Amino acid sequence: DAISPEPADDTELAIEGALRPASLEEFVGQHKVRGQLQLLLDAARIQERPADHILLAGPPGLGKTTLAMIIAHESDRPLRMSSGPAIQHAGDLAALLSSLVPGEVLFIDEIHRMARTAEEMLYLAMEDFRIDIMVGKGAGATSIPLDLAPFTLVGATTRSGMLPNPLRDRFGFTAHLEYYEPEELEQVIARSARVIGMDLAGPQRDEIARRSRGTPRIANRLLRRVRDYALVRGGGRAASLDDVRAALELYDVDAIGLDRLDRAVLDALVRRFRGGPVGLGTLAVSVGEEADTVESVVEPYLVRIGFMGRTPRGRVATPEAYEHLGVVHAAQGQT
Ligand code: ADP
């Protein structure tokens, strides 16, 4: 708004904010989830109550934060944002919950990383809008019940499998966000190009879309790098197809959109571990990455495009992965 201009040194972040669609209508793709959310919000509006708690699950950059903002905006409620790592004690959560105004939407990103003690407090809060605060220690300890204003919890997680069942069960609805199709990403890019004042023809948008790993955040990021490239070395505001390709190559995005880490994991799986099966932890260590990152960021996409399979004995590479890396499959090499 006019009172708080975006800080000048934070333009990348400011642009990311400007690129967020503000309504379900403008939100590209995820038709199923959009319909489900719309119904949930409409029902709450008719009954003049806060919407049920909503869990948004899926890999990073698919629109979970954006949806949380849209949920608050469409239901005309204020939004409070927090995250699992910021809630390391039950007291952190108690402070947050007790300061909510009636009907507020509370967004907790990376909710699977919240402290266990806070999780247990959250069960009661979600169900009864009440928490028990422990005062005193030892034999004299007592719990004082505290009523909360009714709220809507919107949780986001890249690892819905890591949420304890009692927490998962307390969400009225879980939205599973899927990777986007290139045609959908093309729409995201067309919209974003308009917002940042870029002139981008269809083939250029397609090229970026096909190389964005099914992820709007990556599409927007690549678009900005293409804009930079065109501005500095290419055709100015109108990027050519060559500008697009050169920019993506400069930033290590390969022909199908895999980045350095994707390729490192694939390479280790195929060459070092001879196609697997190999355990996730071993694979992660071999590329110097956290197992969590490999599991929630790299693996879902490689599985989705059919390059990696998950078996009870570990991760395996598919023939398509060998082909992409230009490695002859051991079984094919034998005669
Ligand atoms: P997440 O919280 O899942 O990591 P975000 O909501 O922060 O993802 O989205 C990342 C970026 O991608 C945002 O800048 C947003 O503008 C864009 N984005 C995500 N989903 C969509 C969508 N469906 N339509 C248009 N833009 C989107």
- Residues 44 and 125 sit within 8 Å (Cβ to Cβ): no
Nearest to 57 by CA among 27, 81, 30: 30
d(CA 300, CA 175): 17
Local confidence band at 17 (pLDDT 50, 70, 90 cut-offs): confident
Cα 75 to ligand 1 centre (Å): 19
Region 266-276 average pLDDT: 96
Local confidence band at 332 (pLDDT 50, 70, 90 cut-offs): low
- Asked if residue 116 has pLDDT above 90, the reply is yes
Cα 21 to ligand 1 centre (Å): 8
At residue 201, the pLDDT reads 96
At residue 330, the pLDDT reads 63
Nearest to 209 by CA among 226, 187, 236: 187
Average pLDDT, the chain: 92
Please pick, among 213, 217, 221, 224, the residue that the annotation labels catalytic. 217
- Asked if residue 4 has pLDDT above 60, the reply is no
d(CA 241, CA 252): 17
202-210 vs 216-233: helix crossing angle, rounded to 10 = 130
Report strand pairing: 308-311 vs 54-57.
Answer: unpaired
Q: Which residues are annotated as a binding site for DNA?
A: 310, 315
At residue 10, the pLDDT reads 56
- Asked if residue 137 has pLDDT above 60, the reply is yes
What percent of the chain clears pLDDT 90, i.e. is strictly above it? 86
Region 10-37 average pLDDT: 87
Q: What's this model's pTM, rounded to 2 decimal places?
A: 0.92
> Which has more confidence, 238 or 316?
316
At residue 295, the pLDDT reads 94
206 part of the active site: no
d(CA 295, CA 307): 14
d(CA 45, CA 43): 5
Please report where in the chains the tokens 């992820």 appear, as a residue: 215
Region 308-334 average pLDDT: 87
Report strand pairing: 308-311 vs 314-317.
Answer: antiparallel
- Asked if residue 9 has pLDDT above 70, the reply is no
Count CB neighbours of 147 within 10 A.
Answer: 10
- Asked if residue 274 has pLDDT above 50, the reply is yes
Count CB neighbours of 205 within 10 A.
Answer: 24
Question: How open is the CA angle 113-114-119, to the nearest 5 degrees?
Answer: 135
ipTM of the complex as predicted: 0.99
